[in-house]
Amino acid sequence: MSKQVKSALGKGLGALITMEDVNTNGSSSINEIELSKIAPNPGQPRTVFDEEALEELAASIKSLGIIQPITLRETGQDQYQIISGERRYRASIIAGLETVPAYIRKASDENILEMALIENIQREDLNPVETALGMQKLINEYQLTQEKLSERIGKNRATIANFLRILRLPAEIQMGLKDKNKPFNMGHAKALLSLEDPSDQLMVYKQILEYGFSVRKTEEIVKEMNENEPSPDVLPKKKKENSVANEYDLLRTHLSDFFGAKVAFAINEKGAGKISIPFASEKDLERIMQLFDTIKKQ
């Protein structure tokens, strides 16, 4: 990779494309390439394409044409692979185009992913999980530190660390981050990361979806849950070896499942203590009270 390209990696894909890099095929720097000769990039970091947005883009292309050419690399005789512009490529197919305007540039396999990821991150086209997976792939394949990655993509290290941390969340929560129709975003995910137990993370996640909690409300719930954790000095000693403690664990699990909340036990060495049932809102409290009413009627 030339020194010029290396220094441009942190400035977006536009900085990577210079007139010297473009195969002009004559007097023009932009070529009309048949769609049938173009293939998507299998390493494309973006995995979710909004169908409605593609239809809208296709309608725009029908009316105005493609304003910004896509960028390709040549993979064989009259065969090309997309570096950037897969949305425009897909929308052009929907619009019924036979050719698209494109820049043709030379690029090796090892920097196709890097260029595609940088281009998408700079334009904020990826959902948080796609961004995190792309960052992790760059780190793994190019042996980058978070600091080096920060220089490449123009994001600070704290932002990169937060994205990478969401890959620790349960798969169901990661899927929620991909769905723009759910009331769940990166701020919610960061709050859930403060809970160590994946089952707790899933419980709060489901409450966010059900009640539409804001990020601030989610942070308050998580903080309260962490503060309500029983301290080690009030738990029975040798918990794992104590059959009574195991029975408490089983009872706690049953109660938590029944109330749909993280029931906490605080027990001293004499066996005395208390049971607490946290609730996330007035509506959640009403739900729990209804469960008590159900028990009384039995």
The verdict on 104 and 18 lying in the same domain is yes
Phi, psi of 81 (to 5 degrees): -125, 145
- CATH number reported for the structural domain that contains residue 99 in this entry: 3.90.1530.10
Joined together, the tokens standing for residue 26 give 């004559």
Report how far residue 176's alpha carbon sits from residue 62's, in angstroms, rounded to the nearest whole number: 33
SS3 content of the chain, % helix, strand, coil (to 5): 55, 10, 30
Q: Give 231's DSSP letter.
A: P
Terminal-residue alpha carbon distance, the chain = 74
Q: Which residues are CB-contacts of 245 (< 8 A; sequence separation ≥ 6)?
A: 235, 236, 238, 239
Asked if residue 126 belongs to a domain, the reply is: no
The verdict on 177 and 273 lying in the same domain is no
The verdict on 223 and 243 lying in the same domain is no
Q: The domain containing residue 42 runs over which residues? A: 3-108
Report how far residue 232's alpha carbon sits from residue 267's, in angstroms, rounded to the nearest whole number: 10
Nearest to 150 by CA among 141, 161, 134: 161
The verdict on 48 and 94 lying in the same domain is yes
Residue with tokens 């947005």: 53
The verdict on 31 and 66 lying in the same domain is yes
Picking from 191, 206, 227, the residue at the C-terminal end of a domain is: 227
Residue pLDDT, tens place only, 179-232: 888 999 999 999 999 998 898 899 899 989 988 899 999 999 898 888 876 444
Q: In this structure, is the dihedral angle defined by the CA atoms of residues 35, 39, 43 and 46, taken in order, positive or negative?
A: positive
Residue pLDDT, tens place only, 136-169: 888 887 788 888 888 877 788 998 999 999 999 9
Asked if residue 134 belongs to a domain, the reply is: no
The verdict on 17 and 93 lying in the same domain is yes
Asked if residue 144 belongs to a domain, the reply is: no
The verdict on 182 and 269 lying in the same domain is no
The verdict on 190 and 242 lying in the same domain is no
The verdict on 238 and 195 lying in the same domain is no
Q: What is the pLDDT of residue 271?
A: 66
Return the H-helix or E-strand segment holding 266: strand 264-267
Q: What is the pLDDT of residue 131?
A: 86
Picking from 59, 77, 108, the residue at the C-terminal end of a domain is: 108
Asked if residue 159 belongs to a domain, the reply is: no
Residue pLDDT, tens place only, 17-48: 333 333 333 333 688 999 999 998 876 667 77
Catalytic residues: 86
Residue pair 244/250 in contact by the 8 Å Cβ criterion? no
Asked if residue 115 belongs to a domain, the reply is: no
Q: Which of the two residues, 201 and 258, has the higher pLDDT score? A: 201
Asked if residue 120 belongs to a domain, the reply is: no
Asked if residue 137 belongs to a domain, the reply is: no
Asked if residue 96 belongs to a domain, the reply is: yes
Q: Looking at the 3D structure of the chain, how many domains does it have?
A: 3
Picking from 58, 86, 108, the residue at the C-terminal end of a domain is: 108
